[in-house]
Amino acid sequence: MEIPRHRALRSMAIVAVPLLVTAALAFGYHRTERLATPTAAVETSDTTPIVTRTRYDEMIRSYAERYGVDAALVKAVIYAESGFHARVRSRCGARGLMQVMPRTGRAYGARNLYDPRQNLRAGIRHLRHLLDSHDNDPALAVAAYNAGAGAVKAYGGVPPFAETRGYVAKVLRFQRRYQTAAAQAPAPRS
């Protein structure tokens, strides 16, 4: 018995349309856009250039100052987490510039973690909380940002996870480079 042609097409459409919609949604959620324009790069002994000026610099400076966090540390975390791309989402669900988890974002009042202003405010406040919880030690705060405060507490320091140790070293290296870049930057004209 032969299946009528219109039924075969309908059967294919029933299977194909949801797959196409899923693919389109996945592309939309994981789309990254180039939001940081590398207008200047600083090179040190590490050959990887870092983005020194971005469209987010004023927001970063403002929130870092408000919450008492080193702006160079904030930029280092952003560079390590998202490369200054505001529309990124990790496999585990972290979103935006600072790769803030939705639950953490809600705790700090952020509704849209793809909005750079909300993401920076939540991420910097969270970083301030982690610094306060770990005696203002950037290495421990950054380890807690990556692996969770529970892991840092359980191990009494930076957890022995290769990913976390590498992340902490990378962020602290970027922080030093951002501090150097800020010190070398010409004074603003008045």
Catalytic site positions: 81
Q: Which residues contact 114 (CB under 8 A, 6 or more apart)?
A: 86, 87, 95, 96
DSSP sequence for 21-87: HHHHHHHHHS--------S-EE--SS-S-EE---TTHHHHHHHHHHHT--HHHHHHHHHHHTTT-TT
| Dihedral angle sign, alpha carbons of residues 111, 114, 118, 124 | positive
d(CA 35, CA 55): 7
Q: Rounded to whole angstroms, what are the CA distances from 65 to 12, 25, 41, 56?
A: 57, 37, 23, 14
* Burial per residue of 16-31, b for 16 or more beta-carbon CB atoms within 10 angstroms, e otherwise: eeeeeeeeeeeeeeee
d(CA 163, CA 7): 52
